[in-house]
Amino acid sequence: YIIPVVFHIIHNNGAENISDAQVYDAVRVLNQDYNKLNTDWTTVRPDFLDRVADVGIEFRLATIDPQGNCTNGVTRTVSTQTYDGDFEMTQLIQWPRNRYMNIWVAASAGDGVAGYTYYPMWLDNWPEADGIVVDHTYVGAIGTSSTYHSRVLTHEVGHWLNLAHCWGSTNEPGEQSNCSSDDGVADTPNTVGWTACNLNGATCGSPLDNVENYMEYSYCCKMFTEGQGDRMIAALTSGVAQRSSLWQPNNLLQTGVTTAPVLCNAGFTHGRSDVCVGSTVQFTDISYHGVTERLWNFPGGTPSTSTEAAPIVQYDTPGTYPVTMQVSDGVNELTVVQESLVHVFQSPGIDVPVTEGFESTTLNDVAWNAVDNDGDGTFAPTSLAAYTGNQSVRLTNTTSSDGRKDYLYSPTYDLSDATDILITFRYAFAQRNASNDDRLRFYVSNNCGLTWSMRKQLRAGTDLNTVGIVGGDLIPNGPDQWGLAVVDNISSSYHAENFRLRFEFESDGGNNVYIDDININGVSVGMQEPVWDGSGFMIVPNPASSVAHVLFTLPDAGMVAVDLLDALGREVLPLHQGTLGAGQHRLAIPMETLSNGMYLLRVVRKEGASTRRFVVNGSR
């Protein structure tokens, strides 16, 4: 018997978006287990060796979809419902159950289970739920799964073909009352059920329990019994839940599992595509079907061409580069081109201090780069609003579904000589209703974006909301509708020559979000000068809104300069220049002239200088 199969990968661009190779491996495991081709069946406890079944069912990935189009038997759907793994998730996509066995792969199968399905009799009048839901870490033996987890799908297909657990139709092994239950199969001894591998277990008296059965929870399973095989074949040849339609010759032709497939799709995957000079990127051909030849072209890369299935290419020159792949099955040829795919950043990066106001920046190049994993829009330059200048970047959040994530990446910066790092940026956001919990997260990387560390999170219900509740599209109409974020919790381990920033916005029903005026100060002002001990130097209050003073104590009389600087060390205004006597001094800060933001106050004497950070935050 042959069953056409389709795997629906429901993902949110996480690890649950498993590779085609992992799906193919899952089919391999199923076919071994259902045809007594698994090598470990010979190690089954001797009491059960004579009843190990060759069930005689083969699973083949469909090569023709319900519309008659070419497929590899794998679909991919982006949805946050992958975290629920429930009935609503399965309704995102389903192929006709009388033609395909549907398997949905998710980040979670729900309620902490590895997978689930229902008996055919339960599904007979419920076709919408017909199929198997499985956690991605239990699919096949490679990728995000493991050999230890690989038999879960074998177990769930058993249920789909009318097998109960060895202890009966409950999900509660270990209960002594299970000895009074039955799985409807004569050659599987009654048992309370196992969650461990005790090969000497005889929980209902004599005989021994069949602990190594695929329908146990023991995770040392290796076999079906002959009786279980007969029960599954009976289900497959029954009209209940249309199982008998699957293996009919006409359906096998219509789903493409008994004809030689032709080349119909050219495609490839790749590793990280934003790298620093000298780095490598691996590309993998996932074209189907029957590829016999391929030719890659890698402008800017070494090698510049390749015929391998998974070439590794090195990029040594900053820039943005396309990738082209041509494949052939000896008769047909297909070509795929991905323009502006590889972004190669300079290393060392851009010198700091630096300010990015997005006045002339084009995203998706080797400067700032926006990533839209789900195809519903992402960060883009806008002239509708800006804190300063004429432009900012905006994410039109009104088109994003809840839980979607969008990203904005920086180029590389050289902070290798920094003694301190201070980063500030402006943002604007509004909720649509008080329950919105959108989040803006800020990350840093010290290795060109290979790994990231979160340094700040702003939430809609607290510090992200700068405008209030706005029903229509948010367009900030003044500086008072912008907030200031200050990031100073960046350790010396991030003083690297290929330092990068990343903004991540997670939607939850709120309004648009804007970002502007990103400032990176890689060297604290005054730290290169001889250090004055800064005795008694403080700003009170700090942060301040309407009134603030700078206090400091001088050990002796002398020339003193007190300056107010912006976050990049540029002078805003002088507070004092001239001689001051020994002792404590207090100078008023003209708050009415200052906008909200981060400043630096510097006191300079002939012996050296000392600097303090100062935050202005409030209406004046």
Q: Which fold has domain 2-167+225-254?
A: Collagenase (Catalytic Domain) (3.40.390)
> Cα–Cα distances in Å, from 96 out to 36, 61, 446?
29, 14, 49
Mean pLDDT of 426-449: 96
Which residues make Cβ contacts (< 8 Å) with residue 418, sequence separation at least 6? 352, 495, 522, 523
Candidate from 277-291, 296-310, 566-580 with smallest mean pLDDT: 566-580
Q: Which fold has domain 350-521?
A: Jelly Rolls (2.60.120)
605 band by pLDDT with thresholds 50, 70 and 90: confident
How do beta strands 439-445 and 453-459 pair?
Answer: antiparallel
Pick the more confident residue, 178 or 420: 178
Which residues make Cβ contacts (< 8 Å) with residue 45, sequence separation at least 6? 199, 208, 211, 212
Class of domain 538-616: mainly beta
State how far the Cα of 327 lies from the Cα of 286, in Å rounded to an integer: 10
State how far the Cα of 102 lies from the Cα of 93, in Å rounded to an integer: 9
Mean pLDDT of 482-492: 87
User: How much is the CA Rg of the chain, to the nearest whole Å?
Assistant: 32
Coil/strand/helix, residue 243: helix
Which residues make Cβ contacts (< 8 Å) with residue 601, sequence separation at least 6? 539, 550, 562, 563, 564, 565, 575, 589, 611, 612, 614
At 21, which helix (H) or strand (E)? helix 20-33
Of 156, 212, 216, 356, catalytic: 156
How do beta strands 350-351 and 413-414 pair?
Answer: parallel
Residue 366 has pLDDT above 90, yes or no: no
Q: Catalytic residue at 156?
A: yes
With beta carbons less than 8 A apart as the criterion, state whether 595 and 480 touch: no
User: What number of other Cβ atoms are within 10 A of residue 584's Cβ?
Assistant: 10
Please write the tens of the pLDDT for every residue from 517-539.
898 876 433 333 334 566 678 88
Domain ranges of the chain: 2-167+225-254, 268-331, 350-521, 538-616
How do beta strands 422-429 and 483-487 pair?
Answer: antiparallel
State how far the Cα of 210 lies from the Cα of 222, in Å rounded to an integer: 10
Which residues make Cβ contacts (< 8 Å) with residue 1, sequence separation at least 6? 56, 57, 58, 233, 236, 247
Per the prediction, the chain carries an average pLDDT of 92
- Topology match between the domains 2-167+225-254 and 350-521: no
How do beta strands 132-135 and 101-106 pair?
Answer: parallel
Which residues make Cβ contacts (< 8 Å) with residue 275, sequence separation at least 6? 281, 315, 342, 343, 344, 345, 448, 449
At residue 326, the pLDDT reads 98
Residue 42 has pLDDT above 80, yes or no: yes
279 band by pLDDT with thresholds 50, 70 and 90: very high
Mean pLDDT of 448-473: 94
With beta carbons less than 8 A apart as the criterion, state whether 261 and 253 touch: no
State how far the Cα of 21 lies from the Cα of 27, in Å rounded to an integer: 10
Instruction: Give the CA-trace dihedral at 143, 147, 148, 152, to 10 degrees.
Output: 80
49 band by pLDDT with thresholds 50, 70 and 90: very high
Strand runs labelled E in 141-213: none
Helices 20-33 & 152-160 angle (0-180, nearest 10): 60
